[in-house]
């Protein structure tokens, strides 16, 4: 048999943001309906290593059943070398025979599907009239979040800030031709979020980069960058003041420092999570309830999102005869 291999650029070409947002809506709906089997990810953390390895398996049933496994290494020092912090592969397996069907670039899939999920959250939770966007961070996820949020709201202005101002300026230079609105580099996170309707935090920060006193009522936040119990991008007061939405409760309770710090400090109780995005999509739980409410989506990234992307990419590559097909029997 032959397996499909898709490199970074091929994934980018075959998985447009608009199509990925629709895929993520479907994947999160299936998760909420119990059609997905997904254990909590396993993290390998050698004490003296420069990075960590994550193992993210999943299974989806229904019309197109499949097994998937993302193996990804996260190396925080990579951006300084001009490389994505996420490196690895997504494997797709047949649900009928268990045979390996495809090996795909995980960095590209992660970049697109993570932003696409934030696009779903923004579409569900941000006020319809939202026009002003703030992006904190200037790496890979900043670029894909600009595209994703522009797909679901008529953004008219974006302010971006980064610890490295050269990175912020490079983002503006690169992305100005890809979006229809002006992007401005500002000097501080406080200036970036002042009056913003939608905020995306996509940093490697360990301590808060957003504070409650800086943000307006009615804002929607996508909090994306931190994914460990001991790192956070927003302060406790922001979590406490927000209606909190997550991709999955189990992941949040085990991995989300933004939530866990607020819990440890006694600012929120066990019922603070209003809903998983999938529960809002199915109508089981409410989304935004007023124009003045602060909504916050805490993103951690799920294996089912990678599986949905890989399943789609496999079918599209077969249809277009794209990628490289290698004998593996």
CATH assignment of the domain containing 213: 3.40.50.720
What radius of gyration, in Å, describes the C-alpha atoms of the chain?
19
Q: Is residue 239 part of a domain?
A: yes
Q: Is residue 119 part of a domain?
A: no
Q: Is residue 118 part of a domain?
A: no
Cα dist. 268→37, 93, 241, 252, 259 in Å?
29, 41, 9, 14, 9
55 three-state secondary structure = strand
Same domain, 246 and 309: no
CA distance 35 to 21: 19
Rounded to the nearest 10°, the torsion over CA 232, 233, 235, 237 is -110
- Nearest C-alpha neighbor of 31 from the set 282, 214, 241: 282
Same domain, 106 and 145: no
Residue 329 predicted with pLDDT over 90: no
What CATH number does the domain containing 39 carry? 3.30.1780.10
Same domain, 155 and 187: yes
Domain limits for position 245: 127-301
Same domain, 229 and 282: yes
Residue 315 predicted with pLDDT over 90: yes
Residue 310 predicted with pLDDT over 90: yes
Q: Is residue 297 part of a domain?
A: yes
Same domain, 136 and 256: yes
* pLDDT tens-digit readout, 240-289: 999 999 999 999 999 999 999 999 999 999 899 999 999 999 999 999 99
Rounded to the nearest 10°, the torsion over CA 191, 193, 196, 198 is 150
Same domain, 161 and 68: no
Same domain, 167 and 31: no
Same domain, 187 and 279: yes
The CB-based long-range contact list for 69-75 (8 Å cut-off, 24+ gap) reads 69/93, 69/303, 70/106, 70/109, 70/110, 70/303, 70/306, 71/106, 72/106, 72/110, 75/50, 75/51
Residue 226 predicted with pLDDT over 90: no
Same domain, 163 and 219: yes
Domain count within the chain: 2
Q: Is residue 195 part of a domain?
A: yes
Provide CB contacts within 8 A for 48, sequence distance 6+: none
Average pLDDT over residues 226-237: 94
Q: Assign 3-state DSSP to the chain and report helix, strand, coil percentages, each to 5.
A: 35, 25, 40
Same domain, 136 and 281: yes
**What's residue 90's pLDDT?**
98
Residue 83 predicted with pLDDT over 90: no
Same domain, 18 and 43: yes
54 three-state secondary structure = strand
Q: Is residue 242 part of a domain?
A: yes
* pLDDT tens-digit readout, 22-63: 999 999 999 999 999 999 999 999 999 999 999 999 999 988
């Amino acid at each position: 048999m032959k397996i499909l291999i898709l490199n970074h650029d091929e994934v980018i070409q075959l998985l447009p943001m608009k199509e990925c947002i629709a895929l993520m809506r479907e994947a999160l709906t299936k998760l909420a309906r119990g059609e997905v089997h997904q254990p909590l990810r396993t993290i390998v953390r050698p004490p003296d290593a420069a990075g960590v390895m994550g193992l993210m398996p999943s299974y989806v049933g229904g019309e197109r059943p499949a097994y998937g496994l993302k193996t990804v290494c996260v190396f925080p020092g990579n951006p300084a070398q001009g490389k994505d912090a996420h490196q690895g592969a997504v494997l797709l397996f047949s649900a009928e025979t268990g045979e390996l069907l495809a090996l795909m670039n995980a960095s590209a899939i992660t970049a697109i599907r993570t932003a696409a999920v934030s696009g779903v959250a923004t579409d569900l939770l941000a006020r319809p009239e939202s026009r002003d966007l703030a992006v904190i961070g200037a790496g890979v996820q900043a670029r894909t979040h600009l595209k994703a949020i522009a797909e679901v709201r008529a953004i008219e202005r974006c302010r971006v800030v980064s610890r490295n101002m050269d990175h912020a300026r490079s983002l503006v230079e690169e992305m100005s031709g890809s979006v229809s609105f002006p992007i401005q580099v500002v000097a501080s996170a406080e200036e970036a979020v002042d009056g913003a309707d939608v905020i995306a935090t996509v940093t490697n920060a360990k301590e808060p980069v957003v504070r409650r006193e800086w943000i307006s009522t009615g804002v929607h936040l996508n909090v994306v960058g931190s994914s460990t119990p001991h790192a956070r991008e927003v302060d406790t007061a922001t979590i406490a003041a927000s209606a909190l939405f997550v991709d999955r409760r189990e992941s949040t309770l085990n991995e989300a420092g933004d939530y866990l710090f607020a819990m440890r400090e006694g600012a929120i109780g066990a019922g603070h999570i209003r809903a998983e995005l999938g529960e809002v999509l199915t109508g089981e739980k409410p989304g935004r309830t007023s124009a003045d409410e602060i909504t916050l989506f805490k993103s951690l990234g799920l294996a089912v999102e990678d599986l949905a992307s890989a399943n789609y990419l496999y079918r599209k590559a077969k249809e277009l005869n794209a990628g490289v097909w290698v004998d593996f029997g």
